[in-house]
A and B are shown apart, each in its own frame.
Chain A
Amino acid sequence: AQSVTQPDIHITVSEGASLELRCNYSYGATPYLFWYVQSPGQGLQLLLKYFSGDTLVQGIKGFEAEFKRSQSSFNLRKPSVHWSDAAEYFCAVGAENSGYALNFGKGTSLLVTP
């Protein structure tokens, strides 16, 4: 069965510092991978996605992620964090055999300090 693990429940970074959020997945076939962001009490917004091809994908708001098949990872990065990046971040994997429904990690809460 597919699963997604986000090892870090909370992360605190200083504004202007770099960020890396970890995501590991377990899935037999080629995974369809996503990162979403959620502000409190809101819906989810897509940051970026990976289906195939170039393993380094660029997303919105200056985020990027790298797919590493050997490590079953899809970590999210940003070179310089802004205070407005404080939110909950979710990694998800979609599978063809379940109508591409998403299997989510439990999320990482990002706090940005001045």
Chain B
Amino acid sequence: DGGITQSPKYLFRKEGQNVTLSCEQNLNHDAMYWYRQDPGQGLRLIYYSQIVNDFQKGDIAEGYSVSREKKESFPLTVTSAQKNPTAFYLCASRKGTGPYEQYFGPGTRLTVT
């Protein structure tokens, strides 16, 4: 089955630690995205990548980093510089270079204490 996988579903970390969230897709999509979801806030864009080895900051990139070494993978690192990292993180992908819809993974809930 084609789709997007995010692992783990739940992640717990202590404050001050970096943590990496995994996102893998086997849809052969070119573009990938990371969004953050907080209650009552909708989804906000963290980073996106349209091709391998290239990515752009979104609206709330501070305290986050990404890499895109392979087409199918777009991991997100939440660094200790992120002031309020506890949230639900969603990865998405989109085919081609046109305005196609995005497909979303199941999400990772990160809790930092």
* A74 contacts B by Cβ under 8 Å: no
List A contacts of B42 (CB < 8 A).
Answer: 90, 104-107
Contact B99 A94, beta carbon cutoff 8 Å: yes
- Size category of the binding interface on chain A: 20 to 34
Contact flags B81-113 to A (C-beta < 8 A → 1, else 0): 000000010101010001111111111010000
Give residues of chain B (45-62) contacting chain A, Cβ–Cβ below 8 Å.
45, 48, 50, 56, 58
* B11 contacts A by Cβ under 8 Å: no
Closest to A43 in B: B104
Complex Cα distance A53/B42, Å? 28
List B contacts of A32 (CB < 8 A).
Answer: 99
Interface size on B, residues (CB 8 A): 29
One of A41, A98, A106 near B107 (C-beta < 8 A):
A41
* B31 contacts A by Cβ under 8 Å: yes
> Assuming the A-B contacts A34-B101, A44-B104, are A99 and B48 also in contact, with contact meaning beta carbons closer than 8 angstroms in the complex?
yes
Contact flags A71-114 to B (C-beta < 8 A → 1, else 0): 00000000000000000001010101011111111110000000
* B33 contacts A by Cβ under 8 Å: yes
* B40 contacts A by Cβ under 8 Å: yes
One of B43, B101, B103 near A104 (C-beta < 8 A):
B43
Complex Cα distance A104/B59, Å? 12
One of A9, A34, A45, A100 near B31 (C-beta < 8 A):
A100
